[in-house]
Structure 1
Amino acid sequence: MSDHNPGLRPWRDIARRQSRQIMVGNVPVGGDAPVTVQTMTNTLTHDVKATIDQIRRCEEAGVDIIRVSCPDEESTAALKQIVRAVRVPIVADIHFHYKRALEAADAGAACLRINPGNIGSEKRVKEVVDAAKANGCSIRIGVNAGSLEKDLLEKYGEPCPEALVESALDHIKLLQDQDFHEYKVAVKASDVFLAVAAYMQLADAVDCPLHLGITEAGGLIGGTVKSAIGIGNLLWAGIGDTIRVSLSAEPEEEVRVGYEILKSLGIRTRGVKVISCPSCARQGFDVIRTVQALEERLQHINTPLSLSVLGCVVNGPGEARETDIGLTGGGNGKHMVYLSGITDHTIQDAGMVDHIVKLVEAKAAEIEAQKLESETTDAGKADGSQVEAAE
């Protein structure tokens, strides 16, 4: 069931900032492309097996683009093997040594995360740009409030939106002077107010794609809250083309939180959207443990669909009417199951989670089958039209 109808609910519409589009490998970023979800590995890059294993877990979680750190020659040497083994485009994280950028570009990186102003002379910048052009790499400029240039700190006295934006524009100019335009930009800060203000100013100053993030956001809970406020605020304003949730947690958790932010705003859907109550004395079953179990068991579902899990009949029926599958707690361990918003059958406590998982899997299979049938029909119509045109 759709929970978004722009014709009937204009208060949900988000007017997205129009940016030009670049490519990160085979993934479009900006323009009318979907907002992409990124993360970064935390393994030693030269530990090829550990890095590949971690990237594959992130791929299962739905990551679109993944960044790996390349601080030394051993890491860039490993990059070639890593790139071949994974499906998603790799961004090579380079800080000061321009030769690492040259090596990463030759090793197959789809994008270089590097600030041109930090690598030295104009000649070095040109070498990096030439390598990026030769290998089809884009570049991500990453300004961070914690590592602003000394002259900007002296000029402004402290990290502020104006300082972050000026730094970004300075780096951009170095690329434009080399006739390079395949870049995206981030102006991150751990302070939500500072980051949001900087991104808003930058959005008005440039037309390139923007990479959103609240840097050093914190642990899984605190970092999720800060990121949701900062990234969500910007996305709601139509700003942002790709996001990374920075958490002191495993990378796949960053991916899941990123998708939850996008799902909450109706920007992009992936997997099961769970609507559940906080539980109270009225609950007919253990809502908290049930939701935890369902979220864990349903991580393999990629198909967008909605599931409501409510402990009692106060709000349960209303929420169930708006979701693909609904569960509402009742008395005596007997609970109501809704399918497509309509009461369908009851279920007892025993085996309840297994039952709901099977219903969700069946619904996902049904949606995918309908999607395939529709695509096949559309393809047949297109072929028919081509034949008619040829005749």
Structure 2
Amino acid sequence: MFLTLALSDSVLVLQATDDQLRRQHNVLDAPPQYFASSLGSSASSTSLLLHPSMSTSSLERSLTAYITLKVASESSCSTLTSLTAKLVGSESLSFEGGQFEQSWPINVNVRIPVPPHFILSPGKTYKFQANLPYPNTMSPSVQLFYGRMKYKAQVKAKIRSASTLLSRSLLPAKTITAEEPLLVVQASQFEPGAFSKIKYVSANGLGSTCISSSPSPLLLGGSTKVLLSLPDAEAKSRIQKVELSVVQDTRIRPRSGSSSSSTRTHARPYIHLQLPPAQSQQQGFDSSRTKQLERSSDASTLDNNNVLEADFSISSDTDLQPTTLPGSDAAILLSHRLVLTVFYDVPDGDTSDQPKKFACSWPTTLAYPQALSRSVVDELPRYTQIDASSKTSPIL
């Protein structure tokens, strides 16, 4: 007897409100704010067990489970007595002082109707389908040492032998299970109208420098770009290298306890990860390996001889997790910042023998590629040389 389970989606994207998406991109370089909320009351139902912070009115979407039950040809006849599907979310939280909390905020059970005395014949394959409703307010998946939120879909089938009435009454039912992991992410979108993030800094020996970086969100498994626009070629020649790091701030909010403790967030150690260069670059940001931007025919374009560019990879195989949307009532809250460190030679006349450096940082958002929502702005059509040379009718 073989039981298999397939899901309509291996990644669930939770819908975000317009306010959450707007507050995701903070132009003031401030970290996202999370509202304190009490998560201590208790409520449940038999078929749908949800944490009290997740209302049943938000059950607007469902996950389809495709179930296949295959009976081996050498097996004897059996009876399928029950078939159930389940969506489970397990959460583990670790706090200061060794405190630990584990719960199952999501436990959705669906019983699939089965005709009475449903006979499973040898060599036959039976297929079933179940819809698992889920709340849009459930927490996203997280896999960290101090906190985990994991989801899975599971199906259980109870089977009895159909040989004789005596065997059905004496032998216990046999239970077989199958399960599939599920990734739950919050929806995200690119910063509206932003082609890059711009910062202006002034460093001794370099002068006024414009830093341009890729807009949020940065995709896990993707890359990000940094450009330095320096005042002159001499300042550019002093650059030794640039390092780009991601700082991940983790805060955990208890789901149980008194109202005073349930509104408090516990800070966990930072994760500071230096991003490696993209495959095209071997050692971060080096003046001998930087790519020059192509010259533009526009005379007003910035002198590209003073611009340095580098790409950095954002691996999905690290402890970096997606950013939690502002306003989320999840127990595990994650925020991120990019830290750019520039190393440069000491200018002439400086008595110090050590290379100088300066650093700046700004908030950013990390997201899975599946979490991106399509832009509301229509893309312009692509034109070829034939389209450009073709004659068009005048507009009357």
Higher strand share: 2
Regarding TM over 0.5, the answer is no
Q: TM-score, normalised by structure 1?
A: 0.25
Structure of greater relative contact order (alpha carbons < 8 Å, 6+ residues apart): 2
Higher alpha-carbon Rg = 2
